[in-house]
Amino acid sequence: MRFYSGKGDGGTTTLFGSGKRLPKTDKVFEALGALDELNSYLGICVSLAHDKNIKNTLKEVQENLFILQAELGDAKVKPIGRKKLEILEKTTDNFGDAVGVITKFTLSGGSPLSAHLDYARTLARRAERKVLEARFPTFGNPEWNLAYLNRLSSLLFVLARYVNKKSRIKEKNPKYK
């Protein structure tokens, strides 16, 4: 079975939902690649997570990132919408309640999973910027999609703190010296 067509050898590819060929350097492919990179990296986090709630949360985010990618590619899918955004916010709040208020910046690290979640947070921020560059304001329903991406980095930050707290690893703050 062939897993390649050769049609992209000239530097163009098809945008899934529209069927039209665009240069691979088009901003929409930068955004799609950033979302794909984030989704793949979350797979690493899932593989490292032992806590069932964290694992399930990350898997749900991965599913939603596929929806965002499909929407970005103009495919007809059921959009993210208010309900998925509210679920993400509630999940963030629940994990956040367990770790408490943050009063200072924290250094990434602690447990390996926490460090990976912090890195995933930075990938989420980059993906958000790339999506904004590529498709704002025509990204499906931008109100919910962009809000989802914005909140996602907050969830990943809170999860990184949660993992360290559950592992009894004290947060470290920058010393600025």
For the chain, domains (ranges, CATH) are 24-92+106-166 (1.20.1200.10)
Q: CB neighbours of 122 closer than 8 A, spacing ≥ 6?
A: none
Computed over every residue of the chain, the mean pLDDT equals 90
Signed CA dihedral, 53, 59, 62, 63: sign only = negative
The number of helices, as runs of H, and strands, as runs of E, in the chain is: 5, 2
Q: For residue 87, is pLDDT > 70?
A: yes
CA 41 to chain centre: 9
What is the rounded average pLDDT of the residues 103-128?
94
Chain segment 133-164, per-residue pLDDT in tens = 887 666 667 778 889 999 999 999 999 999 99
Percent of the chain with pLDDT over 70: 97
Q: For residue 30, is pLDDT > 70?
A: yes
Its pTM stands at: 0.91
Separation between Cα atoms, residue 111 and residue 123, nearest integer Å:
19
* Confidence (pLDDT) at 118: 97
CA Rg value for the chain: 18
